[in-house]
Amino acid sequence: MDSSMLSISSPCCSYSSHSPLFGGVKQHTTSVVSNSNNLRRPNNKKATFPPPIPKPNPSKNPLKLLINPPPPPSQPQSPHNSHLWLTTKLSPQPLPKLDPHVNDNDDDDVDNCDNHAAQTVQDEFKQQGKIFVGNLPAWIKKNEFADFFRQFGPIQNVILIKAYNHTDRNLGFGFVIYGGPNAATSAVKAVEFDGVDFHGRILTVKLDDGRKSKARAQERDRWVAGDDKLEFRSKWHQDRETSRVDFKRVIETQPDNWQAVVKAFERIDKPSRKEFGLMVKYYARRGDIHRARESFESMRARGIEPNLYVYTNLIHAYAVGRDMDEALSCVRKMKDEGIAMSLVTYSILVGGFARVADTDAADEWFKEAKETQKHLNAVIYGNIIYAHCQRCNMERAESLVREMEEEGIEVPIDIYHTMMDGYTIIGNEEKCLIVFGRLKECGFTPSVISYGCLINLYTKIGKLSKAFEVSEMMKSTGVKHNIKTYSMLINGFIKVKDWANVFAVFEDVLGDGLKPDVVLYNNIIRAFCGMGKMDRAIRTVEQMQKERHRPTSRTFMPIIHGFARAGEMRRAQEIFDMMRSNGCVPTVHTYNALVLGLVEKRRMDRAVEIVDEMVLAGISPNEHTYTTIMHGYASVGDTGRAFEYFTKLKDEGLQLDVYTYEALLKACCKSGRMQSALAVTKEMAARKIPRNTFVYNILIDGWARRGDVWEASDLIQQMKEEGVQPDIHTYTSFINACCKAGDMLRATKIMQEMEVVGVKPNVRTYTTLIHGWARASLPEKALKCFEEMKLAGLKPDKAVYHCLMTSLLSRATVAEEYMYTGIVTICSEMVKFGLTVDMGTAVHWSKCLRKIESTGGEITETLQKTFPPDWNSQSSFNAISDIEDSTEGNYGDGHDYGRDDTDLYYDSDIDADGHLPGLL
């Protein structure tokens, strides 16, 4: 198997290795070794001689079949074939019926005979028993090299090609010459191990092609003919050749040292096409589009015309930079100049479109490659499979893997990783495990990438215990974690807010001697912000900078959002300025975090200023930005401005979603414009945007504010018909509508219905019901509801006590014992929990109390314990006389007890994490 097949370039997941194909553009051909007598190679059809009569006996020259083998079978001939197929596990198919009378190799036998005469001249230079071994480790010694290949037969000699200036290292290739009477057989056996893993390198093992012997023979012939004169090379030529060799050495040994590579190139006097091509390739591997193009244009300015190699490297640069329009313009230029595209060029185009998620374009170029190229390889298949996996089109990916196997192309381990990553994206645990199992059955050793795919799967689907099991499995097999697998585990624990395990894994990272990268530090900062430890998050940023890691906008984003969510907008602005001073360009998400914090503080003027700053900075607001502003104006009751930003959102062509309409409906319902709300719902239906529970809650709350229980009841019925399940907020809003309409019987039935469907009332539900009984002048019912609330294990809040106490005091003139007992009990509980009222509420309760105890008593003494501390001062007493009676439902403490709990709920619309729904 060709080593290029194992170095597939498809970015299968966050761990995909870089392929030699994309590092340096080379022509790859598929080569699959099945057994010692049947090595499948590409057929070079050069038939210029009439075919000789085929003989029934086997050929005496075993190398003939090694050069021109029969083509690979189009499908497996037996379910017990030595090569295991991945797709037989993923989607098994019935075995085809074989026709014993059909010989598929007849046509190829003719081709082999045609090529026999052409290959005879080449065969005479081949040395029997000699093999070429490539991709060796540079540090390998001759004795270790010989020990490995001695298992196939006695070795006559081992040749390791030394490095240019380092004699203790080799150039990565060498030769093995077998001795004895069975030298040729030993060489054939060794070739079967093409693609074997040798000290972490995938070896390339081939039979000697006779090139070296042929060159020696030609040199000997020239010497015999007297044509052995050497051309004199001037000092300029020698210096130029030396600088060319130095440039090649630097670009191979110091690829990360950009300045050294550029200086080595500049030292070459009059670079050739080869050197310019190497520079374009170097910049392509770095993703530096502009410098790659600059080198290309500099070459053309010198009058050097680009060839296929240079064009392909330039296309690769654009593909890495995700600029496929320019890549296609290079393709058109190639075709205009009459340069035919190679398989490598097609593979780069398919991989480029896979990176930008343009599956249709990738399919088109893959189809053209199949039509124009005689053979495809694992690299281009890996790229097209990756494209479909990233788009969750796993059926098409499976069919492509099956097509590979039917073509006789061995599936490398990177394609297994690509398939596992695809199943991870769609959350298909079963098939991901099938691929992992098949990977081991096919003889591959699971690597950190293989285990990383499983860890990524389990962290994404929330099975963190399984992810830990995979981690332990890794350690038991001797595979060590890397930074990326640790980052996956940390990210999984952050999602479930398991902060203890987040930092336990981080300690493991440091314990293994690994240095955290920017991604890992960003996750740790997210964890600190999630815990509310903002100062620790800032110190982590400082630690990053000490370790020479450059923070990104993702680093500062959770800190800005954390301060904004906590209402510390000054600190959020400071971090925003720090981010810009560190050279990080603010993104739309960064600005959105600031806007959200200001909206939650009801500072709408400043929020609008931030949006204007975005536009001046060249950053276009997105739908989340405008939706946040609309929520803010809805909360302050400015329906006109909410509609203004809704119109602006539509005019800019941004996507309208359910969260946008929620903000608009909230503005309409809070201002009592229910007809406008109905118009908004009709527009939602026209755009085929379904109404969710939150939308229904807003509408029900709007009708509840008006006490229209019939409209609220109709909405409940619509929810059930559309399959939208009512939640606790839905029932609470409907109970509020019933209470405002005075229909307490229906409100009681709704409480019973909640118990039947398994929805437990919360504090707000009981508060709404208690207020309903108080409005109905039935304090005994309110007191009973209060007791039920405590029996349910709920802790009453300040609003419940205020509402209940006001109801009892207003009816306390009726001489009933339970009222006096209730007042004393509630006062005692308020004192126990440290709840006090403001001066306005105290005045109102005091006036009600005079009707019961005009000269003071037990109730007066108990009730005054809940009054403000300065209640008994002379100044306060003078102020009390000037305070007018408070109206029902507003007792001077800033709380509107006439409002239901859903009014309070929809005033903020903040979820449990402090976010507006659907934002950020």
pLDDT tens column, 615-668? 888 888 999 999 999 999 988 888 888 899 899 888 888 888 888 888 888 888
Residue 160 included in any domain = yes
Provide the pLDDT confidence category of residue 84 given band limits of 50, 70 and 90. Answer: low
212-259 pLDDT, tens per residue?
777 777 777 777 776 656 666 788 888 888 999 999 999 888 888 889
Residue 661 belongs to what H/E stretch? helix 658-670
Please list, residue by residue across 553-592, b when 16 or more beta carbons sit within 10 angstroms of its beta carbon and e when fewer do.
bbbbbbbbbbbbbbebbebbbebbebbeeeebebbebbbb
Residue 115 resides in a domain: no
State residue 326's pLDDT score. Answer: 93
Q: Which pLDDT score, from 0 to 100, does residue 709 have? A: 84
Which of 811 and 193 is assigned the larger pLDDT? 193
- Confidence band for 488, pLDDT divided at 50, 70 and 90: very high
pLDDT digits (tens, 9 = 90+) for 658-667: 888 888 888 8
Q: What is the pLDDT of residues 38-62, one digit of tens each?
A: 433 344 444 333 444 444 444 443 3
Which one has a higher pLDDT value, 89 or 819?
Answer: 819
Report CA-CA distances (Å) from 734 to 265, 681, 771, 797.
78, 19, 14, 21
- State the pairing for strand pair 32-35/38-40: antiparallel
Instruction: Look at the chain and report how many structural domains it folds into.
Output: 2
- Alpha-carbon distance of 911 to 905, in angstroms, equals 10
CATH value at residue 191: 3.30.70.330
Average pLDDT, the chain: 79
Residue 910 domain-assigned (yes or no): yes
| pTM of the predicted model as reported, rounded to 2 decimal places | 0.61
pLDDT of residue 898: 38
Nearest Cα to Cα of residue 847 among 895, 893, 812? 812
Segment 531-547 shows an average pLDDT of 91
pLDDT at position 485 is 92
Tokens (6 digits) for 340: 């035919």
Q: Is the pLDDT of residue 23 over 70?
A: no
Q: Is the pLDDT of residue 279 over 50?
A: yes
What is the model's pLDDT at position 890?
Answer: 41
pLDDT of residue 164: 67
Tell me the pLDDT band of 333, cut-offs 50, 70 and 90. Answer: very high
**Phi then psi dihedrals of residue 35, to 5 deg:** -160, 180
Q: Where does a domain end: 144, 175, 208?
A: 208
Bridge partners of residue 35, in order along the sequence: 38
Per-residue confidence band for 90, with pLDDT thresholds at 50, 70 and 90: low
Backbone angles phi, psi at 652, to 5 degrees: -85, 5
Query: What is d(CA 300, CA 721) in angstroms, rounded to the nearest whole number?
Result: 70
Contacts of 308 (CB under 8 A, 6+ apart): 334, 339, 340, 341, 342, 345
Q: What is the pLDDT of residue 905?
A: 38
At 715 the pLDDT is 87
Out of 666-675, 806-815, 819-828, which region has the weakest mean confidence (pLDDT)?
Answer: 806-815
For residues 519, 522, 528, 532, the Cα torsion angle rounded to the nearest 10 degrees is -140
Domain region containing 200:
127-208
Note whether residue 829 is domain-resident.
yes
Task: Mark which of 208, 226, 243 sits at the end of a domain.
Answer: 208
306 located within any domain = no
What is the pLDDT averaged over residues 316-331? 92
Whether residue 99 is contained in a domain is answered as no
**pLDDT tier at 734, thresholds 50, 70, 90:** confident
Q: Is residue 308, in this structure, part of any structural domain at all? A: no
Q: What pLDDT score was predicted for residue 83?
A: 52
Residue 269 has pLDDT above 50, yes or no: yes
Report the chain's terminal Cα–Cα distance, integer Å. Answer: 49
Residue 820 placed within a domain:
yes
**Band of residue 101 on the pLDDT scale cut at 50, 70, 90:** very low
* 5 vs 343: CA distance, rounded Å: 13
Which pLDDT score is estimated for 92?
61
Most confident of 97-106, 382-391, 824-833, 841-850: 382-391
Whole-angstrom distance, CA of residue 918 vs CA of residue 630: 13
Supply the DSSP string of 729-763, one letter for each residue.
HHHHHHHHHHHHTT-HHHHHHHHHHHHHHTPPP-H
Please report the DSSP string for 612-644 in residue order. HHHHHTT----HHHHHHHHHHHHHTT-HHHHHH
* Range with the largest mean pLDDT of 27-36, 163-172, 328-337, 821-830: 328-337
